[in-house]
Chain A
Amino acid sequence: MTVLKVAGIFLTAFFFGLTFEGIGRKITARVQRRYGPRWYQNFIDLFKTLSKHGYTHGWIFDFGVIMALGGIIASLGFVPVGGIVAFPGMDNFFVIVYLFTIGSLGMAMGMVGTGNPWASIGVARALTLMLGYEVPYMISIGSMLYFYRTSSISAIMSAQGGDWNLFKFPIGALVALISLQGMLGKEPFEAPIAPAEIASGPMVELSAKYMGLLMLMNTFMEFAEISLFVDLFLGGGTYFVFLLKYLVVWVLVVLISSVLPRFRIEQAVYFYWTVPIILAFVQVFMTVNGFVF
């Protein structure tokens, strides 16, 4: 049964993750008054990259790519997706956050293994940005874990009932949404993969199937991060309700990213360590003193 549930989560992440990315590209195109690609364009892109004959850059590169994809798949298995909880009792917030770093470090190792300076700059920027958004995110989520006296995501989901955490912790939800924008690498926090500036950063030397695997990793990562937001703040829900909430959050993120330019990396970290961090402390103050709606 566990195997089936894990397979269900992966198939959901694969199919709906890529579909929603395609819808996001369509929305961006419509914002720019273009017609845009087909909704299944990302499937074509993925399978095309897997069909090409690529170049490797040594075993540490191969290992890094596999480690990145494997780490993200491992952490995705613990995220509750629309009523499917693969490992009941183990869907702990800290387990997921801990496993996420394996994927990020795998990517950092593999991409630095290519020896390209743009890749090193991109990885350095990605880790710096992570330092920026993780702090306000952790403070805001931490106040919520303190309020519920648990770090189990299904427990928080069921404790919400019909009364979403979005309304109980409005400032915390705002902070988490701003951090989500950085986690997904969307504008204005797009500095790590700036294509025109540092030639797409970590992905600079990726050809063929390596590109495909990293695209898949990116899709899974986006799916896990938005799923966490939906579970923690929008109350999860049954399978299709969950996907509907997911789509709403994703469209919001895409709309924000399609109209904004890019922050420089120090501006992004400065922003995260001033505005969202103060808001997160306000949320902590309110939670500790019992101002929860």
Chain B
Amino acid sequence: MSEMNNMTAAESAATKAAVMNQVPGPDVEGQSPLHHADFAGLAKRGMQEGGIHLRELALLGHLTLRCDSSNHEQVACVAAILGVSLPLTPLTSAEKGAYSIRWMSPDEWLILVPGLEAFSIESQFRDAMPGHYSLVNSSGGSTVLMLSGDNAVELLKKSTTVDWHLSEFPVGKVVSTLFAKSTATIRRTGDQCFELVIRRSFADYIWLWIQDASLEYGLVIKA
């Protein structure tokens, strides 16, 4: 452990052998866990007005980073690669352009990047990151839902035990909690706009739950 902490960037770059490009190119078709729900079709055929707006951000690159927040070299390295600093305060997030970082625990962050950039970002970490850390591409394990609309907060109140008042839950705050009994990482991206990172295996269940929970408000699918 102590030896790994003293590893230079060049030495840790030797661990690159474990990195594989999971998405070789844009011509290879990927299917999100909600492929069968056909959001593109529902956006045309379905309701056009309602209190809940739902969109899937499919096939993003999900990178789980674990490192030491007190290691200034590592924190600086992340900022150099992503152009945005690690959010070190609990339950906060940071975003710049297409890159966003969520605080998951005192030594863990979830980074979302465009799907086709995941491999290049991962490689840059392997080349430049010093010391003892872990970076895992978990893109296939989860998907992202964007929930917005006038009744988005009401739907979240039905599904979670978190306080969603703006004074308690400002824009940018992120929590890992239970959404309808399944784990979800929820971030507020606007007053009425939320981002849910959910498990692939629970995606269909949550899709069914959201349809049921938004019956009284009207569900509008956005492509």
A and B held together in a complex? no
- Footprint of A on B, CB under 8 Å? none
